[in-house]
Chains A and B, each alone.
Chain A
Amino acid sequence: MSDKMHIKLNVNGKDEEFLAEPRELLIHTLRERLDITGPHIGCETTHCGACTVTIDGKSVKSCTMFLAQANGAEITTIEGMGEPDNLHVLQSSFKEHHGLQCGFCTPGMITRAAKLLEENPNPTEEDVRFGMAGNICRCTGYQNIVKSILAAAAEMNSAKEAAE
C-alpha cells in the first residue's frame, strides 16, 4: 500500500482535513469518507456525469479525479446548492417541469446546469443541449430537463432584473 497523503479540502463551505491514499478517487472520498452521497456513480469512466461536482469553479466528473489532484480545492456538490426552505432555482424548476424520474442523474444534472447558467445566463435550447451533453439520463429523454433548465434561466434573469 502506498503512503498516505495529507489532504485538505473545502466541501460545501466546510473545511475537511485527513490522511488518505493518493490513489483514492474523489467520488469515493465524497461518498464514503465524507458521507456526501448526492453525487452518484454511473460508470466510473467519465461518460455519464452522475458524479458531477464543481471544483474551483469548473464542472468536474469526480469519478475520474484522484483525490490527490483535488488537494486544496473548493468543492460544491448538490448538497451545497440550496437548503430545504431555500432551494436553488434549478432544484425547484426540475420538480416543476418534471425534469427527473428515478433521480439518479439529477444531482449531477443540476450541479452541471448551475455551472452552465453561470457561464451563459441566456442559453438557447441548443446551448443547453450541447452544454449538458456530458450528463446522461436514461429515464427522461432530456426534453423536460432542457425545459427545466431554460425555465430556471428565465426565472433567474427576471429575478436579477427585478433586483436591479
Chain B
Amino acid sequence: MKDDVTREDRIGALGGMGCERKRVEDARFTQGQGNYLDDVKLPGMLFGDFVRSPYAHARIKSINTDAAMAIDGVIAVLTAEDLAPLNLHWMPTLAGDKQMVLADGKVLFQGQEVAFVVAEDRYIAADAVELVEVDYEEMPVITDPYEALTSDVVLREDLDPKADGAHGPRDHHNHIFKWEVGDETATNQVMDDAEVVAEETMYYHRTHPCPLETCGSVASMDKVNGKLTLWGTFQAPHVVRTVASLLSGIEEHNIRVIAPDIGGGFGNKVGVYPGYVCSIVASIVTGKPVKWVEDRMENLMSTAFARDYWMKGKISATKDGKITGLHCHVTADHGAFDACADPSKYPAGFMNICTGSYDIPTAYLGVDGVYTNKAPGGVSYRCSFRVTEAVYFIERMIEVLAIELDMDPAELRMKNFISKEQFPYQAPLGWEYDSGDYHTAWEKALETVDYKGLRAEQAQRIEDFKAGKTRKLMGIGLTFFTEIVGAGPVKNCDILGMGMFDSCEIRIHPTGSAIARLGTISQGQGHATTFAQILATEIGLPSDSITIEEGDTDTAPYGLGTYGSRSTPVAGAATALAGRKIRAKAQMIAAYLLEVHDDDVEFDVDRFVVKGAPEKFKTMKEIAYAAYNQAIPGVEPGLEAVSYYDPPNMTYPFGAYVCVMDIDVDTGVPEIRRFYALDDCGTRINPMIIEGQVHGGLTEALAVALGQEIAYDKLGNVKTGTLMDFFLPTAWEVPNYETDYTVTPSPHHPIGAKGVGESPHVGGVPCFSNAVHDAFKAFGLRQSHMPHDHWRIWKTANDLGLHD
C-alpha cells in the first residue's frame, strides 16, 4: 500500500495529546441542548421543597402539617418522624459523623431542613411550605469556634460527650477531633533556638463554591421491578450509589445513578445532601418520580460551605533568611455536623502540605475541629482537600517573615525553595513531592514581569503618595505554590471505605471508532474532549472517532469521581493504561496479519509497522476490523480493555504568580493592573483547556480574596444568602490574565500529567491577598483578614492613618 502522507500529518490527524482540540461538548451547550438536572422531566413527576429553620439553634416543640396537606395538589409532607421508622432521619457524613436529614427534635443552623413537602408542581410545593407550622423554642447560639470550645451549651446532644469521635478523643462536648502531624517538641525547640521568629494569626473566612447550577436530584422508584433511578448533580455518582444502597437497603445492582451535564461543581456537588435522600424517600412513598432542586438562597445557606479556618502560625529563620521551622495550629469551624468531604484518614484534608514549596526541616501542624451553629460542609472549593488554606497560610507566613527580616519576599522565597535535585522530596509533614523545578519557574516569572522595575515603580509611588501627588497605592502580590492533587493511593486515601482509585473501560468498534467510559464526571472541564486526546495518542485512532462517556453507574466502571483535580492524575492514567492494553492486543493481531512474530512489529502513531520495514504495516483501523472478523489463533475476538488505576503517589503541580494592583485609598477599590500566572502541571494535554481552567480558577480566587464570604451575625443569621450580598465577579470586575508555563512531568504518572483545574485558585487567593497587603506594607500593615472588599480595604487605610 502506498502511503504519501507524512508522519507529522498522521500525528496531526489523530488530534491527540498536546493539540488545542476544540471541545466536542460545545455543540450541545451553545445550542441550548445541554441536559442538566433540572431538564430531567418524567411523566407524573412530583416536586419536593423544604421547610427550613429560621433559627440557628432551637428545639422543635411541634410540627403541624394539616394546613399544608389541605392544599389541592399536595401529596405528602415528610418530617423526621416519618423517616425514623426507615432509619433515614439521620445519614452518615463523608467525614465519619452523622447529619440530620430532617430536624430530629432540634435545629442546629439557620436553613436546616425541617420538613419536606411533596406536591404536583413547584408552585404548590412552595405554597405548602409556607403553611407548615413549626413551633420552635430558641436556644443559645454559638457562631464562634473559640467560644464553642469553652461554652456549657451542648450543640450535639445526640453524641456522648465522653465518647471518641471518628478521629479519636474529643476534649469537649463541642470538639470534633484533634489531628496532629509532625514533631511539636522538636518544632518548639527550633523556635526557641531561632535567630528570628515571626508569628501571625489569620482567619481564612467561610465562603461557598456557588456553581451557577445549584444542587438537585430526581428519584424514580420503579416498584414493579424494584429499581431505583437517581439523577443528580453528583461529582461522585458511584459513591452516591453505594451510599444510597447502604442507606435504603436497596441492593446496589437495583440502583442506577446518573449524573447528567453538570453546571459547575467546584466542590459543591461532592457531598450527600438531605435533598437527595428526601427525593428518594418521597419517590418510594408516593411511587412517583420526585424532583428536588434547591434555589440559590438554599444553596448558599445549607449545602457545602468552604474554608472557615483560624490559623495561628510561627515561622523561624536564621538572620540571613534560611527558614528553620514552621508551627501551625488551626481551629477549624465545621458547623453543626462534620460533613467535610475529605479522605477518611485526613480530617483536615491535606492541610499538612502547609510547608509549601520550601525546604523546611522541622514542622508541626495541629488542627482542632469544632461544632458551631453554622451550616455543615467544609468542602474543597476548587482545590484539593484544604490545600487552599495550606497555601494561603504559608504564603502569608513567608510575607510576614520577610517583614520581620526586612528582606525582599521574592528573594526569601528563592532562598528557601526545595531545589530540583531534592526531588522526590520528603516533606516534614509526611508527603513525598514527585517532581519540581521551582527556581526556574520563579526566575521566569520575575523576569517576565520585570520584578525589579515594579519595585522601583512602587518606591516612586510611595514617595508620590507621601508628597500628596497621588491617592493610589501600588501592591505587588507574589505567590509560589505547590498543590497536592490526584487523591489518591488506595493505601492511604478512601472515602467511606472506598479506595480512591479510578477507572476506564474501552471498547473499540469494528470500523475503528471507539467508546471509553470513565468513573469520573465532567462539570465543565471538557473530559469528553481531553480524555479522547489521551486515548488517540495511546491507541492511534482519531480523537474525533472516540466517544467519552461518564456519569451513568449502569454503564461506567466504578470510580471515585471528579474533585481535587483527580480526574487527569487518576482517571487520565487509567485511560492511558487501558489504551496500552488495547495496544498490546493490537500488536498480536498486527503481527498475525503481517505474518511476523509479535516482537517484530512496533507501534507508530496510528499503526503497527514491521521493524526495519516501515512500508509493511497495519493501521489501527485495519487491526480493529480484523479483531472482529478474523479467527486469530490464540487471540480472543473483540478489542476491549478495562483498567483500574491506583496511583502510587499524589501529583504535585506548582506555579508562580504575580499580581500588580493599584488601590485607591479613599474608596478602597482595588484595580488589578496585571496578573501573570505561570503553571507547571506536567505534561499538557490540551493547552486551550488548561488556559481556560486557569482563567476560571483565578477569577474564583479573585472572588474569594476580594469579597466573597458567607457571614453570620451573632444569632446565626446568614448575612450573605443571596447574590445581592454574596460576591460573584462579573466581566466588568475581572481583568485579563497572562498565562505561561513550564513543563516538569510527573515521574510516576503514565503520561506525566499532574492536573491543573484547581492550581489557579490555590495560588490565586494568596496572590491577590498579598498584593493588597503589599500595597500597605510601607505604612505598617502586617496582616488583615480576607475578604479584602472595598470597605475592609478602606478601613485598613483608615486604621493606618492614611485618611488624615
Contacts and interface: CB of A to CB of B under 8 A. Distances in A.
Interface of A: 1, 21, 23-24, 28, 31-32, 35-45, 47-48, 50, 77-79, 81-82, 84, 87, 91-92, 94-96, 98, 100-107, 110, 128-130, 132-146
Contacts of B210: 138
A48 B723 contact: yes
**Overall SS of chain B's interface:** loop
9 contacts: A21-B123, A37-B39, A42-B263, A78-B30, A84-B27, A95-B26, A102-B213, A128-B731, A143-B695
A138 B728 contact: yes
B263 A78 contact: no
A144 B123 contact: no
A11 to B, nearest CB: 12
B732 A101 contact: no
Given A133-B732, A140-B696, A145-B731, A45 B211 contact: no
A135 B731 CA distance: 8
Contact of B266 (A32, A136, A138): A138
Contacts of A77: 32
Given A24-B123, A137-B731, A138-B212, 5 more contacts: A40-B38, A101-B526, A103-B28, A106-B34, A145-B731
Given A42-B296, A45-B722, A133-B731, A104 B698 contact: no
Contacts of A87: 30-31
A45 B731 contact: no
- A-B CB proximity, top 5 nearest: A38-B32, A103-B29, A102-B524, A104-B263, A141-B695
B523 interface: yes
Contacts of A104: 34, 36, 211-213, 263-264
A42 B32 contact: no
A100 B26 contact: yes
Nearest to A35: B41
A35 B121 CA distance: 15
B723 to A, nearest CB: 4
B296 A44 contact: yes
Interface string B1-36: 000000000000000000000110111111111101
A102 B265 CA distance: 9
A50 B695 CA distance: 20
B615 interface: no
Contact of A142 (B27, B36, B723, B734): B734
Contacts of A102: 211-213, 261-264, 523-524
Nearest to A21: B123
B29 A106 contact: yes
Nearest to B694: A141
Nearest to A130: B732
B213 A84 contact: no
Interface string B262-275: 11101000000000
B224 interface: no
Contacts of B730: 132-136, 142
B292 to A, nearest CB: 14
B527 to A, nearest CB: 11
A59 B523 CA distance: 27
B450 interface: no
A106 B689 CA distance: 17
Given A79-B31, A84-B31, A103 B263 contact: yes
Contacts of A140: 692, 695-696, 699
B122 interface: yes
B64 interface: no
B613 interface: no
Contacts of B32: 36-39, 77-79, 107
A101 B30 contact: no
Contacts, number: 180
A95 B30 contact: yes
A101 B29 CA distance: 9
Interface string B718-730: 0000111000101
Interface string B119-139: 001110000000000000000
A139 B524 contact: yes
Contacts of A146: 731
B289 to A, nearest CB: 14
B723 A38 contact: no
B30 A94 contact: yes
Interface in B144-170: none
B422 interface: no
A100 B724 contact: no
B212 A101 contact: no
B768 to A, nearest CB: 13
B72 interface: yes
Contact of B692 (A81, A92, A101, A103): A101
B417 interface: no
A95 B31 CA distance: 11
Contacts of B736: 143
Contact of A40 (B22, B26, B27, B263): B263
Nearest to A96: B22
A41 B38 contact: yes
Contacts of B122: 28
Contacts of B121: 32
B700 interface: yes
Nearest to A91: B30
Interface in B728-759: 728, 730-732, 734, 736-737
A142 B524 CA distance: 14
B295 interface: yes
Nearest to B30: A91
Contacts of B526: 101
A50 B688 CA distance: 24
A43 B296 CA distance: 5
B525 interface: yes
A105 B692 contact: no
A23 B65 CA distance: 25
A103 B265 CA distance: 12
A96 B225 CA distance: 46
A74 B264 CA distance: 31
A84 B33 CA distance: 11
A21 B526 CA distance: 40
Interface in B219-240: none
Contacts of A136: 212, 723, 728, 730
B719 to A, nearest CB: 16
B524 A101 contact: yes
Contacts of B34: 103-104, 106
Contacts of A47: 722-724, 728
B27 to A, nearest CB: 7
Interface in B252-306: 261-264, 266, 293, 295-296
A144 B689 CA distance: 11
Contacts of B732: 129-130, 133
Contact of A98 (B264, B688, B700): B688
Nearest to B737: A143
A101 B700 contact: no
Nearest to A149: B731
A84 B72 CA distance: 43
Contact of B211 (A37, A132, A134, A138): A138
B123 A101 contact: no
A139 B729 CA distance: 11
